[in-house]
Amino acid sequence: MGIGSCVSPDSEKERHLTMGRTAVKHPDKTATTGTYSAGLICDGWLYVSGHASQDLKTGDVISGSIGEETSRTLSSLEKVLIAAGCTFDDVVKCTCYLSRIEDFEDFDEAYARFFRGIPPARTTVQAVLWGGLKVEIDAVARVPAVRS
**CATH (domain of 27):** 3.30.1330.40
For the whole model, what pTM was predicted? 0.84
As a whole-number percent, the residues of the chain with pLDDT over 90 amount to 78
Q: What does the pLDDT look like over 129-146, one tens digit per residue?
A: 999 999 999 999 999 986
> In DSSP terms, which residues pair with 51 in a beta bridge?
137
- Could you tell me if residue 15 is inside a domain? no
CA–CA separation, 19 and 47 (whole Å) = 14
Ranking 31-35, 63-67, 120-124 by mean pLDDT, the lowest is 31-35
- Could you tell me if residue 17 is inside a domain? no
DSSP secondary structure code for residue 36 in this structure: S
Q: 34 falls in which pLDDT band (50, 70, 90)?
A: confident
